[in-house]
Structure 1
């Protein structure tokens, strides 16, 4: 037996394993990351509305304003593409003596903001950075600050740092530019909050995908080795299996031929029954009558013979009228005609469960002789009938 070919793939697998840390790698929880989620944050915010907020960013003493309790709430949905849609509500209070619009204020003034933004996860560009999750965003909002309401255009930069899949901290700074043409000012709002993530959908990180690709390659090589070993055993049994297969094919062909013959015979039987039923034609009635003539009874005797010759045959008798008379009357008359036809057949010893009946009134005319159409008596007579339909062979 030639073992050189199975050995070569095995050596390749071992080399791949050694290259990945000299052990066969396994996928772990660290190889997966959050792809989609909802995030809620609760925290505080700091507003710099001093009038020189973009030139003196860290004038914390005189320019920043905050309240000593939770004052910022946000909720957002974040997609696998890196985009996120967020809504943020915030409250603050300008402290008496702080500089607002380049002027110290003489009393405390409330600040309220409602903002909506679209953010983008920079890890989509930088690559997965573990617990560090930077993002940028743009949006719009409405702010009531220093007793002035204004719409704003917003730009945000921030990052989240995660302690687990669900809990982390959110740090961000938002520049807000007023939409108004009055004296309302631009300002900066900083946010810090505890973030909770839910509705999580996870997937493999890039490193996890690389590891999975390696595992798949190792599995393929191992499978090729097993296939090579099994090939020899398969070759040894091939002659026996071939003989067994030929025997099975022969038996299957015989069964198929027998089944085809059975189906052909059944189709022929059904065709013969259909032809015999169609050959009977219909039972026709005189105007406003449901009584069977001698010729009709002779026709029904032939139907009884067909039913007796085919004990599994089930039929349906449909009663019909012409269009003359009211619809209600015609419905009653059609049901009576169908019942008269049924009673005759049952009287000849056919079981009741082999025949069903239904009256159709004037709803299924065989020609154009509807209400309002002038027709000869011969044409109207074509519609006064009981017809036979095969339900089951």
Structure 2
């Protein structure tokens, strides 16, 4: 009993561990980082231009100069490689009584700086963190300090800490070395702190996210291998059934092909018979006449031969008139014509059950020669006819 209880507990624990591991392997927002962006910043700056460089670096009351309003603005573009390009503009004011260039000044003096710099994200070396973003950089600029303008070589060290993908704080210190020491221009240090806003963001996976992605890919590959194995087993099981279906389909295709060949042969034969009868031509009549002429008898005699050669052939004889005369008269005339045509064929030994008739009067003209159109006699003659339609063959 105790053994069973322990075993059940271990199974439950293992199941919980697998479930937890699967949850851990999900790619989430925490696994993504900002890889490139624009960063805009606004903040304060403090200048230490006492002339003693690093001596008394924290002597804020005597050596640091700060204005009580936003005095620094920056804009920069930061790339996937870790490099960044940044432009910085600063304003400050040396306060009366502060130590500037190793002397205590007696008046307030304005400070202006415009700098450009290249920075590098140290996280590219030490590994990404979600909130701490240290960097170093070098650059150059122009500074007007203590009423002395000078170009400067700059070196910066700092870090940003992020509250979200867009908002954070930036803290940095910059050493500025005068390109020329003429007119008493000296080196100085500038500290800065401010709010930064990130936009134009392009995100990617962190190292942890990439590791998760690789593991997920490996799991997916293994699942696919298992699925392929199952599919292969199922395929082998289904081979016999597939072969039977294929054989049945082939038999059905063969029957369909034979049926199609039969239908095609019938249609071909019908087309040949129809063409043969059409080539004989129609039986034509004179104006207001139902007499079968000698030329028409030749057509009918040829038709008799066709009927004798094809015992299964049955025809419908249709007779027509031209448009001249009343409709009632033309109906009567076309009936006489169809009767005369049938009588001639019967007189030649054609069985009556092979023939049916229908009279159309002037309702099926072959041209434009109606009651409202003038036509010469040869055009009207085309409409005075008996035709033959295949019913069976």
Three-state SS of the structure 2 residue aligned to 1:81 is: coil
Q: Which residue of 2 aligns with 1:157?
A: 157
- In structure 2, the CA distance between the partners of 1:212 and 1:245, relative to structure 1 (3 Å rule), is farther
CA–CA separation in structure 1 for the residues paired with 2:21 and 2:223: 19
For residues 73-97 of structure 1, give each alpha carbon's deviation from its aligned partner in whole angstroms, at most 9, with x where no partner exists: 0000000000000000000000001
For residues 18-53 of structure 1, give each alpha carbon's deviation from its aligned partner in whole angstroms, at most 9, with x where no partner exists: 498475621110000000000000000000000013
CA–CA separation in structure 1 for the residues paired with 2:247 and 2:100: 96
CA–CA separation in structure 2 for the residues paired with 1:25 and 1:224: 20
Three-state SS of the structure 2 residue aligned to 1:34 is: strand
CA–CA separation in structure 2 for the residues paired with 1:30 and 1:245: 54
Note the 1:105-144 alignment, pairs <5 A.
105-144=105-144
The yes-or-no answer on 1:79 pairing with 2:58 is: no
Shift of 1:215: 1.1
- In structure 2, the CA distance between the partners of 1:70 and 1:247, relative to structure 1 (3 Å rule), is farther
Three-state SS of the structure 1 residue aligned to 2:106 is: coil
Q: Which residue of 2 aligns with 1:316?
A: none
Note the 1:20-31 alignment, pairs <5 A.
21=21, 23=23, 25-31=25-31
For residues 272-329 of structure 1, give each alpha carbon's deviation from its aligned partner in whole angstroms, at most 9, with x where no partner exists: xxxxxxxxxxxxxxxxxxxxxxxxxxxxxxxxxxxxxxxxxxxxxxxxxxxxxxxxxx
When normalised by structure 2's length, the TM-score is 0.57
Note the 1:176-195 alignment, pairs <5 A.
176-182=176-182, 183-195=184-196
Q: Which residue of 2 aligns with 1:44?
A: 44
CA–CA separation in structure 1 for the residues paired with 2:145 and 2:34: 37
Unaligned residue ranges in structure 2 (runs of 5+) = 1-13, 251-393
CA–CA separation in structure 2 for the residues paired with 1:50 and 1:245: 96
Three-state SS of the structure 1 residue aligned to 2:52 is: coil
Shift of 1:160: 0.2
CA–CA separation in structure 1 for the residues paired with 2:110 and 2:38: 30
Q: Which residue of 1 aligns with 2:210?
A: 209
CA–CA separation in structure 2 for the residues paired with 1:220 and 1:131: 34
Three-state SS of the structure 2 residue aligned to 1:174 is: strand
For residues 91-128 of structure 1, give each alpha carbon's deviation from its aligned partner in whole angstroms, at most 9, with x where no partner exists: 00000010000000110000000000000000000001
CA–CA separation in structure 1 for the residues paired with 2:246 and 2:190: 79
Shift of 1:223: 1.5
- In structure 2, the CA distance between the partners of 1:69 and 1:244, relative to structure 1 (3 Å rule), is same
CA–CA separation in structure 1 for the residues paired with 2:115 and 2:198: 20
CA–CA separation in structure 2 for the residues paired with 1:105 and 1:240: 101
Shift of 1:239: 4.4
CA–CA separation in structure 1 for the residues paired with 2:148 and 2:88: 19
Larger radius of gyration: 2
- In structure 2, the CA distance between the partners of 1:138 and 1:102, relative to structure 1 (3 Å rule), is same
Shift of 1:218: 1.3
Q: Which residue of 1 aligns with 2:237?
A: 236
Q: Which residue of 2 aligns with 1:290?
A: none
- In structure 2, the CA distance between the partners of 1:155 and 1:24, relative to structure 1 (3 Å rule), is closer
CA–CA separation in structure 2 for the residues paired with 1:246 and 1:180: 96
| Number of residue equivalences | 240
Q: Which residue of 2 aligns with 1:226?
A: 227
Q: Which residue of 2 aligns with 1:340?
A: none
Shift of 1:130: 1.8
CA–CA separation in structure 2 for the residues paired with 1:228 and 1:86: 56
Three-state SS of the structure 1 residue aligned to 2:210 is: helix
CA–CA separation in structure 1 for the residues paired with 2:244 and 2:118: 69
Three-state SS of the structure 2 residue aligned to 1:234 is: helix
Q: Which residue of 2 aligns with 1:103?
A: 103
Shift of 1:55: 2.1
CA–CA separation in structure 1 for the residues paired with 2:24 and 2:125: 30
CA–CA separation in structure 1 for the residues paired with 2:109 and 2:35: 42
CA–CA separation in structure 2 for the residues paired with 1:47 and 1:246: 92
When normalised by structure 1's length, the TM-score is 0.57
The yes-or-no answer on 1:198 pairing with 2:199 is: yes
Q: Which residue of 1 aligns with 2:145?
A: 145
CA–CA separation in structure 2 for the residues paired with 1:137 and 1:129: 20
Q: Which residue of 2 aligns with 1:315?
A: none
Q: Which residue of 1 aligns with 2:276?
A: none
CA–CA separation in structure 1 for the residues paired with 2:132 and 2:81: 18
Aligned-residue CA RMSD (Å): 2.8
Note the 1:217-296 alignment, pairs <5 A.
217-241=218-242
